[in-house]
Structure 1
Amino acid sequence: MSDTTVKTKTKAVRDVRGFWRVLLAVAAPLPMLFMGLYYLLSPVDGDAPFATTLAAVTADPGRFQLMQWLQVPFFLLIPAMFAAAWAARRTAPRLATAGGLLAVGGISAGFFLLPGVVGPEYLVVHDGLDAATMAKFADAAEKQPTEMIGGLLFILAITFGLLLLGIALWRSRVAPAWMGIALAVGGFTHPFMPGHIAAGAGLIVAAIGFAGASIALLRSSNDAFDLPPLGY
């Protein structure tokens, strides 16, 4: 095979690093932003008793249907965490690695082990299921070991995983320092925020922090983002 043929084939390889870099930048702030809106829209706290939540769903089922859709972009939290770790990996490698492993690992376990976005209270109203039976189901499900483990890993990811990623983003200097602090504070304080309004506001702060990773990725060159593709 001649050198000309090799060069032609090498030139034909498409470089998609810019696509992945921009895609991660766009995805990074979305999950926390939409989940923050979910908490702000919710009329009850996340740990409200079954009967309280059921009464709220009965009074306004349309609101809870919208809240379900607001949770859909939350699946982007895994690539968002990866984006934060990737943006900080070169100048804060150990923090980015530790935060990325804890955050992505915990969230992955939580997504797999925890129930979905449709709550039993909503099913009672929407599908006419027996409220007493569904209350027993919800109580029993919360006591299952797998769900308890998933919840624990999920909380560890949100608190300590995002804390480490926020510190890594702050120390890396690839984005404004205050945005790294926003990510660290927004995630770490979430489980301790009193009420759904404060919890929602905290997640909006975390979304702003994730936007710091977006800024870093958008500022980055393709060569700094990743190695170029190989031609064969």
Structure 2
Amino acid sequence: MSTSRTEASTVTRKPLRDVRGFWRILLAVIAPLPMLSNGIYYLLSPTEGNAPFEENVAAAIAHGDRMSALEWIQVPFVTLLIPAAFAVAWVARRGAPRLTTAGALIALTGFCAGLGNLPGTVSLANLTVKEGLDPGTVSKLSTALQEHPIMQLSGLLFILGITFGLLLLGIALWRSRVAPAWMGIALAVGGFTHPFLPNHVIAGIGLLVAAVGFTGATYALLRMRNDDFDLPAK
């Protein structure tokens, strides 16, 4: 009796909906967005990335609307950077498994540590101006946060993720041959050079180059069949 019931339920069971195409297209769309948004952020920023708190407060006074807009512009970077890196790793993993594994471990560890612990898109300097807070007190808070060991370790891991993680993922994308070689090179160069560029405008251009590199994952995902992307539902 139990066997016949099992057979009947197996026969009448509806097939599961295949959502592989949804995830494939979603990752393809996401891939270039984080670096694109961060590149625009750097290009439009009125200060350098390592500017002292007092300079950022002065910028918030002089360019309040722009500083508020920049907070929103950077949201895709902190929200989508991890799935974007995952998209590159997913398309490159078969053609360059060891390089992809090493790059993904460094990049994703750094991104999880940095985005999980470092201050987000909301600027303390901008909040100080908008809310009428005491600049001296908030400056001490900003310094204390920067000097906290968790923040320093997270910042170091994040930089390693951006530089060496994306460098290896870019090389893996190149070696895997799932996208044009120049896209992998753009990802490797755009990520690795970011901390060493002299000012925020050039740094922004470098991040846009990295965004072009991330479109290598977009290219590969859009050309990929669902069966090559993942196994079907059971």
Answer yes or no: same fold by TM over 0.5: yes
Within the alignment, does 1:227 sit opposite 2:231 as a pair?
yes
Question: 1:10-56, CA deviations, whole angstroms, 9 ceiling, x for partnerless residues?
Answer: x5211111110110010000000001000001011001121211111
1:23 is aligned, of 26, 30, 35, to: 26
Question: 1:149-168, CA deviations, whole angstroms, 9 ceiling, x for partnerless residues?
Answer: 11001000000000000000
Per the alignment, in what secondary structure is the counterpart of residue 106 of structure 2?
helix
Q: Identify the residue that residue 52 of structure 1 maps to in structure 2.
A: 55
Q: Tell me the amino acid that sits aligned with residue 217 of structure 2.
A: A
Q: Identify the residue that residue 35 of structure 1 maps to in structure 2.
A: 38
Q: Tell me the amino acid that sits aligned with residue 31 of structure 2.
A: A
1:100 is aligned, of 101, 104, 107, to: 104
Runs of 4+ with deviation above 2 angstroms? 1-9
Query: Counterparts of 1:7 and 1:88 in 2: how far apart (Å)?
Result: 39
Q: Identify the residue that residue 91 of structure 1 maps to in structure 2.
A: 95
TM-score using structure 2 length: 0.95
Per the alignment, in what secondary structure is the counterpart of residue 197 of structure 1?
helix
Q: Identify the residue that residue 198 of structure 1 maps to in structure 2.
A: 202
Within the alignment, does 1:62 sit opposite 2:65 as a pair?
yes
Once the two structures are TM-superposed, the CA of residue 59 in structure 1 deviates from its matched residue by 0.4
Per the alignment, in what secondary structure is the counterpart of residue 74 of structure 2?
helix
Query: Counterparts of 1:34 and 1:117 in 2: how far apart (Å)?
Result: 12
Once the two structures are TM-superposed, the CA of residue 4 in structure 1 deviates from its matched residue by 7.3
Query: Counterparts of 1:96 and 1:217 in 2: how far apart (Å)?
Result: 16
Within the alignment, does 1:110 sit opposite 2:110 as a pair?
no
Q: Tell me the amino acid that sits aligned with residue 113 of structure 2.
A: A
Query: Counterparts of 1:170 and 1:69 in 2: how far apart (Å)?
Result: 32
1:139 is aligned, of 136, 143, 167, to: 143
1:13 is aligned, of 2, 16, 19, to: 16
Q: Tell me the amino acid that sits aligned with residue 64 of structure 1.
A: M
Query: Counterparts of 1:202 and 1:225 in 2: how far apart (Å)?
Result: 30
- CA-atom RMSD, angstroms? 1.2
Q: Identify the residue that residue 125 of structure 2 maps to in structure 1.
A: 121
Query: Counterparts of 2:171 and 2:12 in 1: how far apart (Å)?
Result: 45
Q: Tell me the amino acid that sits aligned with residue 181 of structure 2.
A: A
Q: Tell me the amino acid that sits aligned with residue 76 of structure 2.
A: P
- Distance change (3 Å), C-alpha of 1:15 and 1:152: same
Identity %: 62
Q: Identify the residue that residue 183 of structure 1 maps to in structure 2.
A: 187
Once the two structures are TM-superposed, the CA of residue 5 in structure 1 deviates from its matched residue by 5.3
Q: Identify the residue that residue 166 of structure 1 maps to in structure 2.
A: 170
Question: 1:163-215, CA deviations, whole angstroms, 9 ceiling, x for partnerless residues?
Answer: 00000000000001000000000000001111110111111000100000011
Question: 1:30-85, CA deviations, whole angstroms, 9 ceiling, x for partnerless residues?
Answer: 00000100000101100112121111110011000000001111110000000000
- Distance change (3 Å), C-alpha of 1:87 and 1:52: same
Once the two structures are TM-superposed, the CA of residue 8 in structure 1 deviates from its matched residue by 4.6
Once the two structures are TM-superposed, the CA of residue 6 in structure 1 deviates from its matched residue by 2.7
Per the alignment, in what secondary structure is the counterpart of residue 216 of structure 1?
helix
Query: Counterparts of 1:111 and 1:38 in 2: how far apart (Å)?
Result: 17
* Unaligned residue ranges in structure 1 (runs of 5+): none
